[in-house]
Amino acid sequence: MESYSNNLRIDIQMLKKLPTLSYTAERILRLTSKELTHLDEIIAIIEKDTPIMSKVLSMSNILYFGSCTPITNIKDALLKIGFNSLKNIALGISIFSLFKASGEKERSYKRLFNHSFATGVISQIICEDYLNVSSDEKFTAGLLHDIGFFALHYLYFELFQRLERAVLKGAPLLEAEREVVGIEHSEIGRWLSEWWGLPEVIGEVILYHHDLPEKSSNYAETVALIQLSNYIAEKFGYRIFECEYETSLYKDSIYKLLSLPDLEELMPQIKEKFSIEEFKVL
């Protein structure tokens, strides 16, 4: 197992086999560090990348289905959902496009994507409807929390399949990762986020979303939110693998950090707020 984890570390930290961030993603990331950004700049970046633009519009319409009319272009999206939401959707889509799969990998890739998307959307609903806080960075953190699984799927698909078989046989997810891969997807994702220079909050969520949220000294509330959203997404059927499996939920810790209705009340309310079928066609 040590050789696998060493190879993963080398491939990720030396960027072997992995694609570099696209020009679109790099430019969007640079926008996040600028205090003043001309709105035309984000529009131009997205419009120059047609595949990314079409996916951004599709996701924007699903996320903001309450709009009176469909979002049909990037300027329209900017007006209706705002700069930060548009930027974060575009960043997430740009990163996922690096791992796009086909053939025998496509089915498992779609499960990964739909789980990630559902987690981001659930975190957004909780922020806006229950916590009354901005959902912008939380949606992105939810969207990218399992990026380590995408890297494993991209680099070592045979190993990913072995992990899936172990989980299908009943092994707890994190135990199966340590046994089959030698390392957890959260650590793989953290390496990747550091090398790509993703915002610190995203790296902390990636590392701790299966752990005690307080281990993140600066972003415990966001980690708690994404851990809860990840759990709810899986209970709604958006799982990494085609079976039910045990996932971490530090419920007492989460409810100390977040003021929310109990899960038995919260989950049915959230389920009413989005269409399950819409996610599955992405």
Domains defined along the chain, listed by start: 2-280 (1.10.3210.10)
Lowest mean pLDDT among 64-73, 107-116, 195-204, 237-246: 64-73
The answer to whether the beta carbons of residues 159 and 181 sit under 8 Å apart is yes
Residue 3 pLDDT > 70: no
Give the residue, 230 or 30, on which the prediction is more confident: 230
Nearest to 157 by CA among 102, 207, 209, 115: 102
Residues in Cβ contact with 180 at an 8 Å cutoff, skipping those fewer than 6 apart: 1, 159, 162, 163, 166
What's the CA gap between 238 and 208, in Å, rounded?
20
Question: For 148, what's the count of Cα atoms within 13 Å in the CB-facing half-sphere?
Answer: 26
What's the CA gap between 142 and 227, in Å, rounded?
9
Residue 178 pLDDT > 80: yes
Mean pLDDT of the chain: 84
Residue 201's pLDDT is what?
A: 93
What's the CA gap between 64 and 233, in Å, rounded?
18
Q: Report residue 66's pLDDT band, with 50, 70 and 90 as the boundaries.
A: low
The answer to whether the beta carbons of residues 86 and 32 sit under 8 Å apart is no
What's the CA gap between 282 and 278, in Å, rounded?
7
Tokens standing for residue 118: 């559902």
Out of 10-19, 34-43, 183-192, 258-267, give the one with best mean pLDDT: 258-267
Q: For the chain, what percent of residues have pLDDT higher than 90?
A: 41
Residue 80's pLDDT is what?
A: 78
Q: Which residues of 187-198 are buried (b: 16+ CB within 10 A; e: fewer)?
A: bbbbbbbeebeb
The answer to whether the beta carbons of residues 116 and 205 sit under 8 Å apart is no
The answer to whether the beta carbons of residues 91 and 142 sit under 8 Å apart is no
Residue 281's pLDDT is what?
A: 44
Q: How far apart are the first and last CA of the chain?
A: 35
For the stretch 254-273, pLDDT in tens is 999 999 999 999 999 999 88
Centre a 10 Å sphere on the Cβ of residue 122 and count the other Cβ atoms it contains.
Answer: 28
* Rg over CA atoms, the chain: 18
The answer to whether the beta carbons of residues 130 and 261 sit under 8 Å apart is yes
Residue 135 pLDDT > 60: yes
Residue 49's pLDDT is what?
A: 82
What's the CA gap between 24 and 20, in Å, rounded?
11
Give the residue, 13 or 239, on which the prediction is more confident: 239
For the stretch 74-128, pLDDT in tens is 888 887 777 778 888 888 888 888 788 888 898 999 999 999 989 998 998 999 8
Residue 39's pLDDT is what?
A: 75
For the stretch 197-234, pLDDT in tens is 888 999 999 999 999 999 999 999 999 999 999 999 99
Residue 278 pLDDT > 60: no
| 50-63 and 39-47 helices, crossing angle to 10° | 120
Residues in Cβ contact with 73 at an 8 Å cutoff, skipping those fewer than 6 apart: 57
Question: For 52, what's the count of Cα atoms within 13 Å in the CB-facing half-sphere?
Answer: 26
- Exposure of 132 by Cβ count < 10 A (0-12 exposed, 13-18 middle, 19+ buried)? exposed
The answer to whether the beta carbons of residues 64 and 92 sit under 8 Å apart is no
Say whether 146 sits in a helix, a strand or coil. coil
Residue 20 pLDDT > 70: no
